[in-house]
Structures are given as structure tokens and as C-alpha cells.
Copies of this chain bind each other. A is one copy, B any other.
């Protein structure tokens, strides 16, 4: 009969000790005095120590009981902290992984809700969703893993953009950055006329805005950059679908489902 006592029973010990008896602790805790009496007895047995002096005036503490109380007294503030914590339901985060432009596009259009909060995470590996590193992902093709749920949202097309029609040359991603298809296409077709490079596509757009050269952009991204104008037709080689992906099970999580619906609305309402 030497089990480790439950934390809740230790809390009751503190309450009994501080109340000076079972009656007071019963009022504080809502546990009946018979139960408290038995719990304190088994606690003493499990710990192998006499904690209380039972007298007609209530429960007094023994020397050992006092030593224990000193160690456990901070369980009471912990308990109140926990109950407060459980009352307030802080808005849960839904983790979204997407490419830079898609993330920026969503970030500008997701309405602020109190039912869930968006959390954009770096799309480091393609495995993010499978490994539960993210709840929602936006991919450029239908996922082949059977445990991923996916719905098609829109067709993505790319064009060349520039600050004005007389801008010459191109801006490209640095060679040491990850090379998405658009970057490879640019190097393949205009690699001999690159006027500037940057390590991120957002910086690339900034260069184009400064007139440093023409830039390949998905059309939807250009919608948020009114100072860039299309200077080419859609690049047929780069067009692709867009898929909204999530763990199949995650669809049963209300925040995730709400986020999926809202994101789908944003991605389908906004054409091209």
C-alpha cells in the first residue's frame, strides 16, 4: 500500500492543513468530510508519515506535516491558475503552409476571426502535413498520399511584370536559393539578361518595383502590386493547378474546417 499519491490528493492535504480541519476543507473543496478523512488516512499510509494530530478542535499538523506543507503550499496557486486557464478558451492556431506569394495573398484576405488564428509556418519540407507539422497546405498538384484530403481551388498562371513597358532585362532568384519552376524557366529563357538577383521572391518584387527589371509573378500576386504591369502573355509552361490540402482527420477539427472553408472561399472567388 505504498502508491504515489495523486496530485489532487496533495492539494486536498494542503487545504485540510490550511483550513485546520476537515470541516473547513470540505467547504473549500466541495468534498465531503468522510471522503476527506479517508483520503488523509491513506495519504499518511502511502507516505509512511504521520501528518496530522487529530484532536477535538480539528486537525493540527505534526512536525512532518508542517515540513510537507511548506513544500506543497504552492499547489494552491497552481490550482487556481489552472482553473482560470481552463475557463478562458484562447483562440486556437491553425497552421498553414504555403508558398510565399500564396501566403501573402491569404494573409491580406483572411478575415480576423476569434474562432481560430492563422499561423503561417515555413514550408520547409513537403512532409509537413503528413508529419502533423501543419494543418493546412497549399500545393501546386494533387497530393498522392491517400491520407491527405485535397480540393482543387484555382488555376495559377504566370506572366512577366515590370514597373513600366520600357523596362529592360530581368530580375531572378539567387542561385543559392531554392529554385521554383518559375525561377528555372526564367534562367532557361532569359538567363543571359539578368540585371539583379535576390534571395526571396518578395525582394524580387521590390527590385521590379524599383525598375530593376522584369519579374515572373503569379498573376494573383500581381493583384496586390498595382505598380507592376503585365508585360507578357501568360507563360504557358508555368501554369499549374492549385490544391488545398489537409490531413484527412483534421477535417473533423472545427477550427481547421473553418479555416479550410474560408481559405477555399478566398482561393476560388478570386479568379485566375
Interface residues of A (CB under 8 A from B): 4-8, 10-11, 47-50, 53-55, 60-64, 66-67, 71-72, 78-79, 82-83, 85-86, 89-95, 116, 132, 135, 247-250, 252-256
A254, B50: Cβ atoms closer than 8 Å: yes
The 3 closest A-B pairs by CB, nearest first: A63-B92, A62-B253, A53-B249
Does A50 contact B7, Cβ atoms closer than 8 Å? no
Given the contacts A63-B94, A89-B49, A82 and B250 also touching, CB distance less than 8 Å: no
Number of copies: 2
> Bound state CA distance, A78 and B7, in angstroms?
10
Smallest CB gap from A74: residue in B: B78
Task: Indicate if the CB atoms of B83 and A64 lie closer than 8 Å.
Answer: no
Bound CA–CA A90/B83 (angstroms): 31
Cβ-defined contact, A86 with B249, below 8 A: no
Given contacts A132-B60, A135-B63, contact A253 B5 (CB under 8 A): no
The residue on B at minimum CB distance from A9 is B8
